Structure 1
């Protein structure tokens, strides 16, 4: 896929390949003519922090910050076994450097033993009430969930709950004067906590609708003080019960397009904990707006779609020119390659190498880690992220097939250089590092070179076909 190669550059590359990597001295006029370093982010270089100001971190993040595991996929096995399955993984995940796990919605939902939790009925039933045809949820009992959370904390892993507060499901039929019809909005739940009626769903006395409804489910009215009080206000509010009784450390808010960002802002102000919003939008500016108004992190869907354009669309310039949340708000962006809702990036190895070397809070999908990809390679990338991926970012080179970026280091950590190669052949490039007269190596082991940077910090590095290399000091 390489094209329009300058013959003079090609001749130079052949000549220089005959020289020792550590001894080369060259005229950069031709070899650097296409280079234009782009300073992508400007900040003090500190790692991504998942600790709010009013909490003590359970996990001491490495130099690059944390890595999150999405600890489920759509339609995990039913039968009440999933909490125990995840519990059996947390020691290995902790040893690999995973900082946090994101669990599916844990409360009882309409579809009972078969529900993935997004059709939520009773916020306070974690598998201990006979309701909706079952005592346990699809994932297990409350006792098993508490045991999982305890085991994760023992491994210094935080646990994030999937919070569904846009809509509810499983209510009984009642006459609704605002619709002049019967609606399924009568929730007299088994826990006895946060019973609801048509007053608590749109349309009602507070209006006809909010920012969005989902799937025809009753749309919870956050403008109602009664709803606010039960979600985050009172001492036994949903958020506080999850945090103080169940011991969750943070929140993944489902379908936040369905209500105003002030809702998450109020939850965070009253409950605390790390929070992520699922604002499904490819526009980085829109994601930035939501983060600023919600006082929350968000999944970087802009990055997700740019990676798909780059790796599967064979145009790695999309990584340098594409607008992404991590470029606008490095400490608000939660990056990912796939999740339980979407899985369209084919070249996942390159995508994981990208998010685990760049700014943001990278997320690994359970099936990618446990079934579909090479776990050893992912563990290597997690180690690199936790130990080397720090500092702001400079993009050194990008074309259809190649992308090279530099993390500029922080607080004595040297940072790294990542080289992505989307072509079918080995590639080599001269690039400028932050290191003078220093031996470097590829921490992935994909290249065996150990070149020495020149006095002006330039060095030649290489990358195997359809793969990546990640360089730093010894």
Structure 2
């Protein structure tokens, strides 16, 4: 099946997302989407301002009056569960966004011992051990022990970014001293010496009580929401030992078919592959290197060699475990990893991920629906308009109808590449051709079985017919900086 995911949110999403999604499920099904990745449903430390990544209480999905109200930014628990049910009625799987790395917005301060570390090299100690107070106790008073009476305190955390010493606030990265030692776990990315610490109160997965609580919680989450899979945030910062144990528990005890997709953000496919191998292929990963290829290609224009567009991608290395995307909530304009693919190139990038044989593509909400938002950067308010990609619905339809069967690549010109999908017994194939410079063409041999066949551009970028000769050969064309998908008339 030609599965395709929609990331049904962006960073600046406003309005009740759960209700909006519930109303759009039939529309999404008709476009060919088979799965939807929804943002984190948990209560945030910033209340309705939070996007779900500033986790306060994983058991509060918009049910308890905590952090300025009952609903989250996206709606209430009832609305969330209704949205998932609507997706299931439409035959769409739902992937829940899960943040395992940290907690924020603690309820009480505790006296703890910490030492400061160099933010550029977290293995380097820059202060003596010191007694401080920090917000490391989470008691969830409004929930009153419903679903779980587990109290999070400093034994459950390995680091923190804000402490008080002698009444004075201190900011930085502080290693918490607990019974698991005064060093970070080594089972994480070695960026900045050790990348265990990211933000907030960093969860200590060497604590067996924490591991058990997270198993209890994910069982409750699956039982409560009936989601089909999970997207895991910030995996560079998590203990791979814990992750492997936790995902194995999910697959063995809860749901063997649970789809697990990870954000292991690296621009080198070798590092993602190394992580994937270490996880015993229990987990698929986003293809950040391919996104950066698209970003570079969109900036460089005709100077970019299109024959290299898949080079160094995770798709090239481990296609079965890769998820391809053009853009997401972290790379969109004004965000932390800003690397927005230029609008002119997006149809080409989407053609590559939607019509290639091995890709499991993920479409970004604003590229389908458009988006407008404002934010402040360097003290200046900036307005961003993201136009919808007009050719996206027909590309999705082409994926459903024509992108089947074996793929034959014609990656033989720096400014114009093509590939043929041969089709199968149920579905005809197609010829995809893209150019990042002038009008381009490719001579393609489709074999004698396609002799004297007429072809039209399904995307209507070109309005003439192409007819193959007695051997099934023809020259297929594409407009300047464009994509065409040629199918039998």
Q: How does 1:239-250 map to 2 (within 5 A)?
A: 239-250=218-229
**Structure 2: how far apart are the matches of 1:228 and 1:265?**
12
**Structure 2: how far apart are the matches of 1:298 and 1:403?**
26
Provide the TM-score with structure 2 as the length reference. Answer: 0.77
**Structure 1: how far apart are the matches of 2:47 and 2:388?**
35
Contact 1:428 1:461 in 2 (8 A): yes
Deviation at 1:282, TM superposition (A): 1.1
Residue 444 (str. 1) matches residue 479 (str. 2): no
Contact 1:436 1:454 in 2 (8 A): no
User: Alpha carbon RMSD of aligned pairs, Å?
Assistant: 2.3
Mark the CA change 1:221 to 1:66 in structure 2 (over 3 Å): closer, same or farther: same
Contact 1:310 1:318 in 2 (8 A): no
Residue 76 (str. 1) matches residue 10 (str. 2): no
**Structure 2: how far apart are the matches of 1:124 and 1:140?**
15
Give the equivalent residue in structure 2 for 1:428.
Answer: 441
Mark the CA change 1:91 to 1:412 in structure 2 (over 3 Å): closer, same or farther: closer
Give the equivalent residue in structure 2 for 1:100.
Answer: 35
Residue 400 (str. 1) matches residue 335 (str. 2): no
SS at the partner of 1:313? helix
Contact 1:239 1:267 in 2 (8 A): no
Deviation at 1:102, TM superposition (A): 1.0
Q: Which has the higher contact order (CA 8 A, sep 6+)?
A: 1
Give the equivalent residue in structure 2 for 1:466.
Answer: 481
Contact 1:300 1:325 in 2 (8 A): yes
Give the equivalent residue in structure 1 for 2:111.
Answer: 175
Residue 418 (str. 1) matches residue 432 (str. 2): yes
Contact 1:262 1:293 in 2 (8 A): no
Give the equivalent residue in structure 1 for 2:25.
Answer: 90
Q: How does 1:291-306 map to 2 (within 5 A)?
A: 291-294=276-279, 295-306=282-293
Deviation at 1:449, TM superposition (A): 4.1
Mark the CA change 1:376 to 1:94 in structure 2 (over 3 Å): closer, same or farther: farther
SS at the partner of 2:355? coil
Deviates further, 291-300 or 150-159: 291-300
**Structure 2: how far apart are the matches of 1:271 and 1:244?**
12
Deviation at 1:67, TM superposition (A): 1.2
Provide the TM-score with structure 1 as the length reference. Answer: 0.79
Q: Gaps spanning 5+ residues in structure 2: where?
A: 116-130, 159-175, 189-194, 252-257, 333-339, 371-385
Mark the CA change 1:263 to 1:378 in structure 2 (over 3 Å): closer, same or farther: farther
**Structure 2: how far apart are the matches of 1:106 and 1:152?**
16
Contact 1:310 1:319 in 2 (8 A): no
Mark the CA change 1:458 to 1:224 in structure 2 (over 3 Å): closer, same or farther: farther
Mark the CA change 1:436 to 1:452 in structure 2 (over 3 Å): closer, same or farther: farther
Residue 201 (str. 1) matches residue 157 (str. 2): yes
Which of 186, 203, 217 is equivalent to 1:220?
A: 203
**Structure 1: how far apart are the matches of 2:464 and 2:289?**
35
SS at the partner of 2:211? helix
Deviation at 1:178, TM superposition (A): 5.5
SS at the partner of 2:249? helix
Give the equivalent residue in structure 1 for 2:249.
Answer: 270
Contact 1:426 1:462 in 2 (8 A): yes
Q: How does 1:326-341 map to 2 (within 5 A)?
A: 326-341=315-330
Give the equivalent residue in structure 2 for 1:377.
Answer: 391
Give the equivalent residue in structure 1 for 2:365.
Answer: 366
Q: Gaps spanning 5+ residues in structure 1: where?
A: 1-60
Give the equivalent residue in structure 1 for 2:341.
Answer: 345
Q: How does 1:301-320 map to 2 (within 5 A)?
A: 301-314=288-301, 315-317=304-306, 319-320=308-309
Deviation at 1:413, TM superposition (A): 4.3
**Structure 1: how far apart are the matches of 2:199 and 2:369?**
35
